[in-house]
Amino acid sequence: MRLLLSTAILFSLYFTGLTWGQSSTADAYYASESPVAKTNLLANIGPSGSKSQGAKAGIVIASPSTTNPNYLFTWTRDSALVFKVIIDQFTLGLDTSLRSQIDNYVGAQKILQQVSNPSGSINGPALRATALITWANYLNSHGNASYVTGTLWPIIKLDLDYVASSWDQSTFDLWEEVSSSSFFTTAVQHRALREGARLASAIGQSSSSYTTQANNLLCFLQSYWNTAGFVRANTGGGRSGKDANTVLASIHTFDSTAGCDAATFQPCSDKALANLKTYADAFRSIYSINSGIPSNQGIATGRYPEDVYFGGNPWYLTTLAVAEQLYDALIIWKRQNSLQVTSISQPFFSTFVPGIATGTYSSSTSTFTTLTTAIKNFADSFVAVVAKYTPSGGGLAEQYSRSNGVPTSAVDLTWSYAALLTSDMARNSIVPASWGAAGLTVPTSCQGSGGGGAISFTFNVHAETVFGENIFVTGNLNELANWSPDNAIALNANNYPTWSVTINLPASTTFQYKYIRKFNGVTTWESDPNRQVTTPTSGSFVENDTWR
C-alpha cells in the first residue's frame, strides 16, 4: 500500500480545514511543482524545447497556445524575464547545465535587437539589459572580460542608450494596453541604467550619461506614489491605478543590499507594503473564489480590478508575485534583525497585530516573532491558493477562473513558470546579485532625457459626478496625451468632489489643457476656451480649478 499522499490530496486536506497548514502546503507544492515548472519553461525555448518546435535557438515562445488565444510569439519582455531566471540560476550555482541556453539567448537577442519595428530600427528594453548585465557581471568576475567587452557590451550599450534617450516618452504599460508612463517601466529602466553605469565603469566604458538619467528616473519614480497610500501604476488609462504592475516592479528591482529603502520601493519598504495591501485587497470582493476568506489569508489576485481580458480573471504569476514580495521582505527583516512600522505601513502590519504602534521592533521582541511568523504564513497562503488551482500534472496557464478556479486563457505560459521559480528562490532566501540600489539619494528636481527641467504638477478640479462617471485631463503636451481623449490622464476622487492627479511636466513651459468626463462610453469636454498655465522653473505647482 502506498503511504505517500498525492499532492492533490494534500491540497484538499488543507482546504477542507484538516491538519495541513499553509507552510506544509507551500512546502509540498514547491517540492512537486518547481521541477515541473523548470521542465515546462525550458520546453518553451528553441531550438530543442519539446513545445517550441520550429523556434530558433534562444527564442522563448510566450505559450504553445495557437488559438483562443494565439500566444505563439516571442515577446522581448517575457523572454528577458524568463532568461533573468535562467541566468540567476546559473550564476548562483543552482543549475550549471544552463550555459548553452544563455549563449543561445545572447545570439538571438543580438539579431532581434535590430529588427525594424514601430519604435525604430533599434529597440532597447530595460529588462533585456538587466538580464545581460547580470550575465556580463558574472563573466567579468570569472575571467572572461574579452567576451563581455566584445560580445555583450555592444548589445547592452544599445539598450542602455535607448533607455537613456527616451525614458520620458510615453510608452505602453506592462500589459501593453495603456499608453502613458508606467511605474513598472520607470522602475526597471532606473535599475537598468544604474547597473549599466556600474558595468560600464568596471570595463572602462563611459557611464556618466547613464548615471545622470538614472538620477532623473529615480526622481520621476517618486511621482507614482499616491497620497491615498498606494502606487499609481500608470499616469493614464482611466483606472484606479491598483495594479500588479507595482508589485512586479518591487520584486524585479529587489536589491538585498538596499534594505527597506522606500525611494526604490524595496519589498519591505513602508510604501511597497502599503501598496501591496491596497492591491491585494482590491480583489477580495470581486472574485467569487475569494468569498469568505479573511483579511489575514491569501487570495487570488489578477492584473487590476477593472480587467476584462478573457473575463478578467486571476493570474498565476500575479498571485505568486504577492508571495514573492513578502518572502523578499522577510529576508531583509531577518538579515537586519528588526522591522519598522511607520504610519504608512501601519495598516499592513495591523492585519497581523491589530492596532500595532509605529516604531522599530527588534528580533528580540515577541512582536517581531509574531509578525514575521504571521507574514510568512500569509505569503504561504497565497502560494496555497495557486496550489489549489493548479491542475494535476502541474501545468500553469496564464489565468484561472474567477468563479471556479479552472485554468483558462493561454496554456503553459512561460512567464507563469518563471514566476513559480523566482518565488521559490525567494522563499528559500536565495537572493539575486545587487544592482546598486543601496545609498541612493533622490534628486530635488527632475530633468527629462533631453536635459530640460521637469516639475511636479498637481491638477485639482472641483467636479461633482454621478456614480460611474470619471474625470480626466488632456492637453497639448506629450505628458498630457496631446489632446487625446482616449489616452487622457485619469484623476482620482480620493478627496471628492475634488478630483486630483500629480504628474511631471516640463519646467518653464506654457501649455493648454481641458478636463473631460467619461460616462457609459460617452466623453464630454469642458466648455471653451482651453485652460492655459505656465509651469515654474523648478519645484512643484498646484493648479486648483472648477469644472465649467
Active site residues: 173, 176
Burial class for 404, CB neighbours closer than 10 Å (0-12, 13-18, 19+): exposed
Contact of 424 with 88, CB cutoff 8 Å: no
CA distance 348 to 327: 15
Q: Which three cell numbers stand for residue 248?
A: 512586479
Contact of 222 with 216, CB cutoff 8 Å: no
Contact of 60 with 78, CB cutoff 8 Å: yes
Residues 6+ apart with CB under 8 A from 129: 156, 159, 160, 163, 192, 196
Task: Tell how far CA 73 is from the center of its chain.
Answer: 22
Contact of 189 with 449, CB cutoff 8 Å: no
Q: Is 311 left (phi over 0), alpha (psi -120 to 50) or beta?
A: left
CA distance 98 to 89: 8
Which amino acid is present at 527?
Answer: S
Q: What is the end-to-end Cα distance of the chain in Å, rounded?
A: 78
The secondary structure element, H or E, covering residue 503 is strand 498-506
Burial class for 447, CB neighbours closer than 10 Å (0-12, 13-18, 19+): buried
CA distance 485 to 344: 34
What is each CA distance from 438 to 141, 182, 273, in whole angstroms?
A: 21, 23, 19
Q: List the beta strands (DSSP E) in 195-344.
A: 225-226, 230-231, 338-341
Contact of 513 with 529, CB cutoff 8 Å: no
